[in-house]
Amino acid sequence: PQARIKIDTDRKVGEVHPNMFGNFAEHLGRCIYGGIYEEGSPLSDASGFRKDVMEATKNLGVSLLRWPGGNFASGYNWKDGIGPKDQRPVRPDHAWGDLDSNRFGTDEFLQYCERLGVTPYICINAGYGTVNEAREWVEYVNEARSTYWADQRRKNGRDKPYGVKIWGLGNEIDGPWQLGHKNAEDYSKFALEAAKAMRRVDSSIQLIASGSSNFGPNADWIAWNREILQNLRSEIDYISLHTYIGNRENNFERFLATSQDLDERIEVVAGLIQAAQSGQRNPRPIYIAYDEWNVWYRARGNTEFATGSTRLEEIYNYEDALAMGMFFNSFIRRADVVKMANLAQLVNVIAPIFTNKQGLFLQPIYFPIAEYGKQRNNMSLNALVTSPTYTPAPGRKPLGYLDVSVTHNTKENALYVNVLNRSEKLDIATRLDNVEGAIQSAVGVWTMNYDDLKATHTFGADKKIVPANSTYTAKVEKNGFTYTFPKHSLTILKV
């Protein structure tokens, strides 16, 4: 064999948190309006929620939903989105150039989450918004006693507090494109006050600081995270990271080498968390929320000023599906510190689900996301991996063709071996060893393997780039066996 994956169930990294399979819904293009929510459609229920989208979301295994943005959050006034729908103001959105009818707001979002059984996560407006608006939002959503905003909620038909536990302290405040962009010092001051005010309403909430989204040549992204962590370490539970990748150069192996960036960003921020906690008496645990991630480089917006216009409608191909495995492998390898990850986004806007007025289709990226989601609560293991290497670009470090993560489900007594073979040309014969225990010869195989890297799906034709399930009869010798991972494929072995 040319490669080796050596597994030891004692080499535990951390539990794969269910929130690693989170998602994100922004007021942007047709994500909410025309995706999640379409009033008057025969495909929608009485609340205006598209039933077909809800079903596809359930099957995707979504655990958590972030809302309302994204860049949109930094100009959003949540008070516009409550009360009788016909009396809500229609507002321009200056993040994307849309027109927001505000017919989908806080109550609609939280009812949607309840219907789906997913954990809601609200991102406050730390751009043009105020600390007090953020405090009032928590009061509207979570206050049980009779107060002005809790009573407004009751007036709007909801007596019981929603009990939203996860709140984001703004979106991408490090980015100059953000409405209300700030430097790290000014953002820290805002976030500290917001944390204090929001926790005066509900001390049980968990808070996510706006970490890095700007990795451009002029951005000192490490300094941003260092300062945020230093200033907010006693208030926050997570720091966010955002990463979008693309195959602009049409170079498959280089595209799938972007795990180097992901791994580096995670490692560096994990180190900065440790540095911020060092010497502290009872340091507050802080994790990484990989708050937005996906492939995104083709589709942008148009100039249409409307609710539900066409923006960021990326059509995904087979190689993008492989990239899903790469992202999850990076997150799982550091499951001790990455405790949340939200695919951006759920429907139509850079999304695995794509609708029109008649129905929907599933993009190729849908399938790996759904499959990896089955590993929630498993224990991530630190496997030893060797495989043939390549140098993705001049000046970059060499990396293995096999990109691997391994998890252990103790209840099923099963190992999940997640393998992306990012070689465009090489099938790679690999020896798998389980140092601790016996291996059954019947190995479950889930795989995606398609010849045309650029193949896509569309309406009525979304059964082409789909996974295959089979059983492989392994020739087990000394608690190990050999398996060949085909070129440009993603495989999950259940051993």
In sequence order, the β-bridge partners of residue 167 are: 122, 207
- Is 292 a known active-site residue? yes
According to CB under 6 A, which one of 26, 98, 108, 139 is a site residue for ligand AHR? 26
Least distance to ligand AHR, CB of residue 24, Å: 7
Taking the complex as a whole, how short is the minimal distance between the CB of residue 152 and ligand AHR, in angstroms?
Answer: 28
How far from each other are the two terminal CA atoms of the chain, in whole angstroms?
19
8 A C-beta contact, residue 296 and residue 312: yes
Computed over its alpha carbons, how large is the radius of gyration of the chain? 23
Beta carbon of residue 200, minimum distance to ligand AHR (angstroms, whole number): 28
d(CA 70, CA 417): 33
Chain residues 277-306 in contact with ligand AHR, contact rule CB under 6 A: 292
Tokens at residue 244, please? 């979008």
Residue number, 212 or 489, with CB nearest to ligand AHR: 212
253 a catalytic residue: no
Whichever of 38 and 172 has its CB closer to ligand AHR, that residue is 172
Closer CB to ligand AHR, 168 or 392, in the complex: 168
Would you say 227 or 292 has its CB closer to ligand AHR? 292
Q: Is 240 in the site for ligand AHR (CB under 6 A)?
A: no
> From the candidates 172, 227, 313, 319, which is the catalytic residue?
172
In the shown chain, the binding pattern of residues 63 to 82 toward ligand AHR, with x for contact by CB under 6 A and - for none, equals ------xxx-----------
Query: What residue ranges in 331-450 does DSSP mark as E strands?
Result: 338-344, 353-356, 359-362, 379-381, 384-386, 389-390, 399-400, 402-409, 414-421, 428-434, 442-449
Considering the complex, what minimum distance in angstroms separates the CB of residue 345 from ligand AHR? 6
Tell me the closest approach of the beta carbon of residue 172 to ligand AHR, in angstroms.
5
In the complex, which residue's CB is closest to ligand AHR?
Answer: 70
For position 172 contacting ligand AHR by CB under 6 A, the verdict is yes
Omega of the bond prior to 68 within 30 degrees of 0, cis? yes
**Contact string (CB under 6 A) for ligand AHR, positions 329-368, x = contact:** ---------------xx-----------------------
Kindly name the residue from 38, 235, 292, 371 that is annotated as catalytic. 292
Nearest residue (CB) to ligand AHR, 72 versus 372: 72
The amino acid sitting at 44 is S
- Residues 245-284, one symbol each (x = binds ligand AHR by CB under 6 A, - = not), give ----------------------------------------
- Residue 66 and residue 123 in contact, taking contact as beta carbons nearer than 8 Å: yes
Q: To the nearest 10°, the Cα dihedral for 357, 366, 266, 385?
A: -170
Let me know how long the chain is: 495
Q: How many CA atoms lie within 13 A of 56 on its CB side?
A: 24
Which listed residue (119, 171, 348, 421) binds ligand AHR by CB under 6 A?
171
Exposure class string for 295-305: b at 16+ Cβ within 10 A, else e: bbebeebeeee
5 binds ligand AHR, rule: CB under 6 A: no
| Residue 263: closest CA among 339, 321, 342, 327 | 327
Token pair belonging to 90: 């229609």
> Active-site residue numbers?
172, 292
Q: Which residues bind ligand AHR (CB under 6 A)?
A: 26, 69-71, 171-172, 213, 292, 344-345
